[in-house]
Amino acid sequence: MRLSFLEPLYKQPGPFASVYLDTSRDSVVEDPDAAIELRWRHLRDALTCEGADQDSLAAAAEAVGSDTDVPGAHGQAVFTAHGRLALLDELPDPPARDTAHFGTLPYTLPLIVQHSPGIPYLAAYVHYSGRHSTDAPGSVRIEAEIGVWPLTRVTPGHRLDEEIPVTDWLNAAQVIGRELEGHARRIDAEDVVVAGDVWARGILVRRLPQALLGRVVTVEGAGESRPGRALLEHRLESLFGGRMAAHDRSLLAAFLAECAHGGASAEGLAPAVSALQRGQVKALFLNHHPESPLRLWAGPEPGQLALAEQELRSYGVQDVREERADAVLTRALVGTRAELVLVPEQQVRLYEGVGVLLRYTEPEPRV
């Protein structure tokens, strides 16, 4: 996964207040705004105990719960620094528990996890309930959306919505197919997910350009979705659950191939830190453990990270802080434009939960 969406955050100086909280407004809760305010109050107290300044708390308070137009279960990630909002993002799922952290670095890994697997896709639903004949009265309506799963659940992508007389459906389906191909190519969609009336959607699928045919997945069920939510949301959840994006799978395959013959790869926290110090990492692979107690030492720059405080001080770094290991690693990845791949432990168990694919290897020293 590319982490370019975090670059604006890391360009700002810390310390940061990092807030994750449930901002769902479902009918189950009698007064959701009061519930959100109560959750925020607990987090604000925790941030105050950690030393957060009042201006940053005020900036966070202004952002919390501002997503009133997002329906369904979801959450917010709020980052503030020096009294200003540094980053605000919607979470497709409410966090497992509300958390807040104040420190030199922003705590961004929970946000990254919610961006994962980051699968680009195109979804289409063909509405039709009439007689299966091209001389029937009535019309066919097609809804389509391009997006990146799971973010489209809370930030809908570009939509297409057209209604065509059934008598024109054969020709119109071909025109729409070419339009869909253009949208799919723009985001390099991995899947074209099609649902709706079997007859009407079959005509569309058969008229899709050749480039899309190998990516078509037909699913059953209704396509209607609430405003502000992804088209075919529940079908996509079943389809993409537990899956890695194709780009991440290719990086993992390259990493495993290098591991197999002792090539440009390494496992373990120490070699990962060493490679990040030199800007040598192409992609870092992580078995995500939110409860991990691992800590690293960090200086002001992304490449200034170490297992021990004295190592950084020996390089002449004066401003040294101990932080969560995943926060330090994430900043280093963004700063060196390396990628992060979250790897399910049941798929590949990494030594100390960390592995790296290197951009280059250094030549062996001559004896």
pLDDT in tens, 204-220: 999 999 999 999 999 99
Contact (Cβ atoms closer than 8 angstroms) between residue 89 and residue 76: yes
Q: Is residue 367 part of a domain?
A: no
**Residues 353, 251 share a domain:** yes
* Per-residue model confidence (pLDDT) at position 223: 57
* Gyration radius from the chain CA atoms: 24
How far is the C-alpha of 101 from the C-alpha of 112, rounded, in Å? 16
**Residues 107, 32 share a domain:** yes
pLDDT in tens, 299-355: 999 999 999 999 999 999 999 999 999 999 999 999 999 999 999 999 999 999 999
Region 281-287: mean pLDDT is: 97
Confidence tier at 221 by pLDDT (50, 70, 90): confident
Least confident range from 130-139, 203-212, 225-234: namely 225-234
Q: Is residue 363 part of a domain?
A: no
**Residues 296, 269 share a domain:** yes
**Residues 104, 163 share a domain:** no
Q: Is residue 365 part of a domain?
A: no
**Residues 277, 226 share a domain:** no
Instruction: Using the Cα atoms of residue 294, residue 360, residue 348 and residue 7 in order, give the sign of their dihedral.
Output: positive
Q: Is residue 30 part of a domain?
A: yes
CATH number for the domain harbouring residue 298: 3.30.1330.30
Q: Domain range holding 347?
A: 246-358
> Which residues lie across from 146 on neighbouring strands?
122
CATH number for the domain harbouring residue 217: 3.30.420
The three-state secondary structure class of 121 is strand
**Residues 219, 144 share a domain:** yes
**Residues 91, 71 share a domain:** yes
Q: How many Å from the N-terminal Cα to the C-terminal Cα in the chain?
A: 40
Asked whether residue 363 carries a pLDDT value surpassing 80, the answer given is no
Q: Is residue 206 part of a domain?
A: yes
pLDDT in tens, 52-108: 999 999 999 999 999 998 988 999 999 999 999 999 999 999 999 999 999 999 999
Q: Is residue 364 part of a domain?
A: no
* Per-residue model confidence (pLDDT) at position 361: 83
- Count of H-run helices and E-run strands, the chain: 12, 16
Please name the residues in contact with 128: beta carbons below 8 A apart, sequence gap of 6 or more. Answer: 138, 139, 140, 141, 166, 196, 197, 199, 200
Confidence tier at 364 by pLDDT (50, 70, 90): low
Number of domains, the chain: 3
Contact (Cβ atoms closer than 8 angstroms) between residue 144 and residue 183: yes
Q: Is residue 170 part of a domain?
A: yes
**Residues 198, 126 share a domain:** yes
Last residue of a domain, one of 209, 240, 271: 240
Last residue of a domain, one of 240, 274, 297: 240
Asked whether residue 272 carries a pLDDT value surpassing 60, the answer given is yes
Asked whether residue 27 carries a pLDDT value surpassing 70, the answer given is no
Last residue of a domain, one of 115, 134, 167: 115
